Structure 1
Amino acid sequence: MPASVLLGNIAVNEMAQEEEWSDDTKLFMPYDVEQILLADNANCVAVQTFLKMCNLPYKVDYRKNAEFMSPSGRVPFIQCGKYLVPELDHIVTFVNNKGKSLTSHLSDKQRSDMRADLSLINNVLVNAELYLTWVEPVTLKEVTIPRYSSVYPWPLGTILSYTKRAKVISKLKALQWYDKSIEEVYREVDKVCSNLANRLENNQFFFGKPTELDALVFGHLHTIYTTKLPYSGLWDTVRSYRNLISHTDRINSLYFSKKG
């Protein structure tokens, strides 16, 4: 990879405006069939959806070490020209800085509401997915360790898996998620889904037109639906909200079907 300007934990500055969006923009992510896990997959799908909503071209570049290549240590990240930009929120800012926005039609109140919902998803759904992936023992043994270690030789894969688990557990402990029961995790997810379902009501999109909130919700719900786990409790919680499922089906049809 050529030398690039890293735009992650630093603010996206005005220099990024000097370049047009590159048709050769790459989206780096782990292998989606054999390696990627629940939370990372949700974020990767959300970024792809956002870029499609913006009608911005990109090519997916699968790398087994994508998280170690990322400026923030999280996936996905894009390489656009000389810039490396990780994670949805930074990518949204980067795209906005180039004059492309999905939220220009929103009022200040709506922008505030959207930021609150984005924060709720990142603070609850992501933590729930991390809990189910790295704490719940059956899923850890049957899904997480085999997938995460699959692209590395033994014993490196096992070492990296438990190193990653230690980092996730440290984060969940700091956020007071580690000691939750699985039932408490499902209840937290249910609260978020209830809030989102009330926001969406019978509308096609949360704020009239597609925004990054629609992309993020789709990323998580579509991933929850398509990821096989030993227990169905997470999907059972989500699927009771029919308008959210319809929203997921709609976005999948619009942006990911062959017709769309």
Structure 2
Amino acid sequence: MDSVLLRQYVTEETIASDPWTDDALLYQPYEAEQILLAENASCLSVKAYLKMCNLPFGVKSAANAEFMSPGGRMTKLPFVKVGAFVVAEFEPIVNLVESKGVSLSKWLDEDQKSDMRAYISLVEKIFTCAEIYISFADDEVLRQVTYPRNGCVYPWPLNVFENIKKRRNMLRQLNVYGWGNMTLDDVVQKVAKCCETLVEKLGNEEYFYGNRPTELDAVTFGHLFTILTTNLPNNVLAEKVREYKSLVRFCQNIDKKYFNPQKST
């Protein structure tokens, strides 16, 4: 794919003038052998969102996906290519979809939309930081999972240097968010408090705002389902999430409805 195309700047007006295309592609690292926990959660959040919007898209795995993204290494994955344009990260992708007249949350009032955005910000910050922490600050996960997966697409000794660089960048990101000096117990407590907040918000409903999904449902599912289904040598995050049965059921329901509709009850 033309690297110039992947970095071109687009305006909202230009994007909105073109319809969503049937050949839209979501780009991500290789899922089986390369993608890391936080990247997987972000990619799954966008996939869930697009499926909830009933928009067609394909998935393109690439070894250099993080470098193909419009913002380069500093831009979170995934990114989507729709027609001639490329947009990265969850919120800009939502803006792209809404510019084309499709919105999951258009039926919410302004106070509810503001409330939803606050929850999304909380979920993305807490779970992304927790995912980065367990991947790069836990030595067992770092050595057995993170380094082999992140370095698998590079030859030796480049893989060693890329792993060191990646870890340095991720630890710097944790420091920016005030997570640099936390212990694993601190991280688990942060996750627990976020889960408790989500349990209270969800109540007995199917989704966070009743019987219809919103962007909050897509983001929460992406992070929780990834944590629950990723086997790590230290599974403390998954063990904590599993304590919240309503959130586990929430993930199972979305997985069945949007990703595996053929599953039997």
Using structure 2 for the length normalisation, give the TM-score: 0.94
1:179 aligns with 2:178: no
1:236 aligns with 2:239: yes
Q: 1:5–1:84: 8 Å Cα contact kept in structure 2?
A: yes
Partners of 2:69 and 2:10 lie apart in 1 by: 16
Q: Offset at 1:11?
A: 8.2
The alpha-carbon distance between structure 1 residues 229 and 92, as it changes in their structure 2 partners (threshold 3 A), is same
Q: Offset at 1:111?
A: 0.7
Q: Offset at 1:74?
A: 2.0
The alpha-carbon distance between structure 1 residues 5 and 165, as it changes in their structure 2 partners (threshold 3 A), is closer
Partners of 1:156 and 1:5 lie apart in 2 by: 25
The alpha-carbon distance between structure 1 residues 181 and 14, as it changes in their structure 2 partners (threshold 3 A), is same
Residue 151 of structure 1 is aligned with which of 150, 153, 162?
153
Q: Offset at 1:201?
A: 0.4
Query: Residues 90-147 of structure 1: CA distance to partner in whole angstroms, max 9, x if unpaired?
Result: 1000000000000011011111111111110121110011011011111101110011
Q: Which amino acid is 1:59 matched to? A: G
- CA-based RMSD of the aligned residues comes to 1.5
Q: Offset at 1:41?
A: 0.2
Give 3-state SS (helix, strand or coil) of 2:173's partner: helix
1:100 aligns with 2:102: yes
Q: 1:6–1:85: 8 Å Cα contact kept in structure 2?
A: no
Query: Residues 26-51 of structure 1: CA distance to partner in whole angstroms, max 9, x if unpaired?
Result: 11000010011110000001101111
Q: 1:12–1:93: 8 Å Cα contact kept in structure 2?
A: no
Partners of 1:38 and 1:187 lie apart in 2 by: 19
Partners of 2:235 and 2:7 lie apart in 1 by: 39
Q: Which amino acid is 2:5 matched to? A: S
Task: Map 1:119-158 to 2 at 5 A.
Answer: 119-158=121-160
Query: Residues 221-260 of structure 1: CA distance to partner in whole angstroms, max 9, x if unpaired?
Result: 1101111111221011111111111110000000111527
Q: Which residue matches 1:15?
A: 14
Q: Which residue matches 1:255?
A: 258
1:222 aligns with 2:225: yes
Q: Offset at 1:174?
A: 2.1
Partners of 2:58 and 2:173 lie apart in 1 by: 32
Task: Map 1:36-115 to 2 at 5 A.
Answer: 36-72=35-71, 73-115=75-117
Q: Offset at 1:6?
A: 4.7
Q: Which amino acid is 1:31 matched to? A: Y
Using structure 1 for the length normalisation, give the TM-score: 0.95
Partners of 1:116 and 1:258 lie apart in 2 by: 30
Give 3-state SS (helix, strand or coil) of 2:180's partner: coil
Q: Which amino acid is 1:150 matched to? A: C
Q: 1:43–1:88: 8 Å Cα contact kept in structure 2?
A: yes
Give 3-state SS (helix, strand or coil) of 1:231's partner: coil
Give me the identity figure in percent. 41
Q: 1:12–1:94: 8 Å Cα contact kept in structure 2?
A: no
The alpha-carbon distance between structure 1 residues 258 and 201, as it changes in their structure 2 partners (threshold 3 A), is closer
Partners of 2:182 and 2:172 lie apart in 1 by: 14
